A and B are shown apart, each in its own frame.
Chain A
Amino acid sequence: MGAHVFLVVLVIYFLLPLWWLIVASTKDAHGLFSGTGGALWFDKTFALFDNLGLLFTYNDGIYLRWLGNSVLYAVSGGAGATALAILAGYGFAKFAFPGRRLSLALLLGSVMVPLTALVIPTFAMLSQVGMTNTIWAVILPSLLNPFGVYLMMVYATDAIPDELLDAARVDGAGELRTFFTVALPLLRPAAVTVLLLSFVGTWNNYFLPLAVLSSNNLFPVTVGLGLWDGLANSASGTGTTSLWSLIILGSLVSIIPLIVAFLSLQRYWRGGLAVGSLK
């Protein structure tokens, strides 16, 4: 009984901002500030569809463009990082090669380097070669995921029996064929986890795109919403109230895909996260 009360309290706390966000998305500018139901309940005017229309047309539909950019960055960065992690994790787990121990030590060290510490250096390097303010300035650095490689390595060590690889080789399969037909299917659960984690990492990233992008139409949705928030704050009270509605609804729309992805793929990532902590 006590346990359930505790859980209910926790759920209310963790869902409170989301509940507020959903309720606030249905309000017009007037309802936001002085609605009939208060901040945590619906107003008498239901303006969700008006807000949606405004969100997708405001500033020539820049929001849709940001959403598209987020998808592009997260899909290409996530898929790329995962492919690199699968290959490297398999290589580290199942092969002896010169420099392996040193590379592993470097990999582990880099897991401890906070990726945000790389943002200003990456910006400095990219601006030296004239690559800032391009999609590559976001996508290419997102391919770096040392933790993903580490996770794949730990998983591959146990999940792929050496005998199976040897059997494939004895049958005359080349290394690539062995990898694709024997190893890859066994790595699927960890691969889904790494994909999900790098997808979310790139989708949620703010500091890197904020630093390397300067054109509005290249922004991902996080940086775009941050921009609107800055505008709304700097001009508060001077006819920008509609911007608040856009920020609120824009936030809601942009988190729906991720929440759906997490909830529907949970049996994969739960197992994958366990790999990182159980060993």
Chain B
Amino acid sequence: MTGIGSYAVRSSAPRARATARGRSVRPKITGWLFVAPFALVFLVFLVVPLAYAFWLSLFSKGLATGTTFSGLANYVKAFSDPEFLGGLLFVVVFSVVLIPLQMLVSLAAALVLDTVTTKLARFSRLMIFVPYAIPAVIGALMWGFLYSPGFGPLAQVFALFHASAPNLLGSHDVFGALLNVVTWQWSGYYMIIIYAALQGIDSSLYEAARIDGANQWQIALRIKLPLVASALVLILVFALIGTLQFFTEPQVLAPSSNGVITPSFTPNMYAYNLAFANSQINYASAISFALGLVVFVGVYIFLFATRKKGRIV
């Protein structure tokens, strides 16, 4: 659930502050009492693990030497480790292709659903959203079956032409195969967010545009699109955070990919396999921490850049 709405606070924070100032006569501690339970969980399950992982990442485990303090050596190693860099490159390229595709599908669906108000449209809206309620593991399993040359529908299609079906999880097609799984899983959720934003637009704007002679396309591109731009930015950030952390789908599809999806296919898979298969918890911590940092800094810069170019909220 990370990501959505980090923008929104900018517009609501001043108001919240003003309200808060108004009640400063109340005992100062009351607010803390309400926030305290969450603050405790925040401390124990976010601050402490991150701090501990950072601490662990400063040590190295050698066969002869045991565990010794090594400063930032694990980070130097990570950023020159072809497996980590390869995984990082994959998730970056994957995001660059995936996110525009996903946004296009969800935006198109939302714009159509905003214009058409038939029963079929209402039904479609729910059905497009359904994959969001399905665990990523099961989404990946289902598509894995559908891709399978053994019992997928492709086998039958190709049999008609007396050819054998391609292995969609082979090295040529694995990128597209994963792209499809993730687009299927998340587009409906993004569609709902854009749709909610579209429904919030004052419809007298459309009236005015129609009187000025604008057609549906012009209304969609000139009025609706700019007005939901903030929702699009949020989705983009949300998708970016999720995709750079790619783990579940490739992990689940790896066994049926004949080794094309390697243990270091994505940085998160690499960290997981380092920690569990190779019990290199120190180096795994460094990879995890480095990845989190790359994502955080990347998203922060992105938000800052889009904010400077004229506020869209």
Chain A residues close to B by CB (< 8 Å): 3-4, 6-8, 10-11, 13-18, 20-21, 24, 32-33, 38-40, 83-85, 87-88, 90-101, 103-104, 106-125, 128, 140-141, 143-151, 153-154, 157, 162, 175, 179, 197-198, 200-201, 203-204, 206-207, 210-211, 222-223, 225-226, 229-230, 233-234, 244, 247-248, 251, 254-255, 258-259, 261-263, 266, 270, 273-279
Partner of A108, one of B6, B39, B131: B6
Distance in Å: Cβ of B94 to nearest Cβ of chain A = 15
Q: Which residues of B contact A32 (CB under 8 A)?
A: 151
B15 A157 Cβ-Cβ under 8 A: yes
A112 B28 Cβ-Cβ under 8 A: no
Q: Which residues of A contact B150 (CB under 8 A)?
A: 33
Residue B136 interfacial (CB < 8 Å): yes
Chain B residues close to A by CB (< 8 Å): 1-6, 8-9, 11-13, 15-17, 19-24, 26, 28-35, 37-39, 41-42, 44-46, 48-50, 52-53, 56, 105, 108-109, 112-113, 115-116, 118, 120-121, 123-124, 126-139, 141-146, 150-153, 155-156, 184, 187-188, 192-194, 196-197, 199-200, 230-231, 234, 237, 241-242, 244-245, 247-248, 251-252, 255-256, 268, 271-272, 275-276, 281, 284-285, 288-289, 291-292, 295-296, 299-300, 313
B20 A95 Cβ-Cβ under 8 A: yes
Q: Which residues of B contact A259 (CB under 8 A)?
A: 130, 133-134
Q: Which residues of B contact A276 (CB under 8 A)?
A: 4-5, 8, 193, 234
Given A95-B26, A118-B50, A121-B49, also A270-B137 (CB < 8 A) = no
Distance in Å: Cβ of A19 to nearest Cβ of chain B = 10
A207 B24 Cβ-Cβ under 8 A: no
A120 B252 Cβ-Cβ under 8 A: no
* 19 additional A-B residue pairs with CB within 8 Å, beyond A87-B38, A91-B32: A7-B112, A7-B121, A10-B109, A24-B145, A39-B152, A95-B20, A95-B34, A96-B20, A99-B32, A103-B39, A110-B46, A112-B3, A121-B53, A124-B52, A162-B22, A204-B135, A206-B252, A229-B255, A276-B5
Q: Which residues of A contact B128 (CB under 8 A)?
A: 10-11, 14
A90 B34 Cβ-Cβ under 8 A: yes
Distance in Å: Cβ of B302 to nearest Cβ of chain A = 10
Task: Name 14 interchain pairs, CB-CB below 8 A, sorted by A.
Answer: A4-B120, A17-B131, A17-B139, A17-B146, A18-B130, A39-B155, A94-B20, A111-B5, A121-B289, A124-B275, A244-B151, A262-B132, A276-B193, A277-B194
Partner of A226, one of B56, B137, B234, B296: B137
Q: Which residues of A contact B156 (CB under 8 A)?
A: 38-39
A20 B142 Cβ-Cβ under 8 A: yes
Partner of A97, one of B28, B38, B42, B256: B28
Partner of A13, one of B29, B184, B194, B199: B184
Expressed in whole angstroms, the Cα–Cα distance for A219 and B292 within the complex equals 26
With both beta carbons as reference points, the residue of chain B lying nearest to A162 in the complex is identified as B19
Q: Which residues of A contact B272 (CB under 8 A)?
A: 119-120, 207, 210-211
With both beta carbons as reference points, the residue of chain B lying nearest to A12 in the complex is identified as B127
Q: Which of A91, A100, A116, A206 has the most CB of B within 10 A?
A: A116
Q: Which of A16, A85, A207 has the most CB of B within 10 A?
A: A207
Q: Which residues of A contact B241 (CB under 8 A)?
A: 112, 114
Expressed in whole angstroms, the Cα–Cα distance for A233 and B188 within the complex equals 30
Q: Which of A7, A18, A40, A229 has the most CB of B within 10 A?
A: A7
8 residue pairs, one from A and one from B, having the closest CB atoms: A95-B31, A91-B34, A121-B53, A97-B31, A117-B292, A279-B8, A274-B196, A121-B49
Distance in Å: Cβ of A151 to nearest Cβ of chain B = 7
Distance in Å: Cβ of A32 to nearest Cβ of chain B = 5
A128 B52 Cβ-Cβ under 8 A: yes
Q: Which residues of B contact A115 (CB under 8 A)?
A: 2
Distance in Å: Cβ of B254 to nearest Cβ of chain A = 9
Given A88-B39, A113-B46, also A255-B135 (CB < 8 A) = yes
Q: Which residues of A contact B284 (CB under 8 A)?
A: 120
Expressed in whole angstroms, the Cα–Cα distance for A274 and B194 within the complex equals 9
Q: Which residues of B contact A128 (CB under 8 A)?
A: 52
Distance in Å: Cβ of B54 to nearest Cβ of chain A = 8
A94 B138 Cβ-Cβ under 8 A: no
A91 B116 Cβ-Cβ under 8 A: no
Given A114-B2, A150-B9, A279-B11, also A251-B141 (CB < 8 A) = yes
Expressed in whole angstroms, the Cα–Cα distance for A222 and B6 within the complex equals 30
Given A14-B130, A15-B127, A88-B35, also A123-B3 (CB < 8 A) = no
B38 A149 Cβ-Cβ under 8 A: yes
Expressed in whole angstroms, the Cα–Cα distance for A179 and B138 within the complex equals 40
With both beta carbons as reference points, the residue of chain B lying nearest to A231 in the complex is identified as B255
B288 A117 Cβ-Cβ under 8 A: yes
Given A146-B42, A147-B4, A277-B8, also A204-B136 (CB < 8 A) = yes
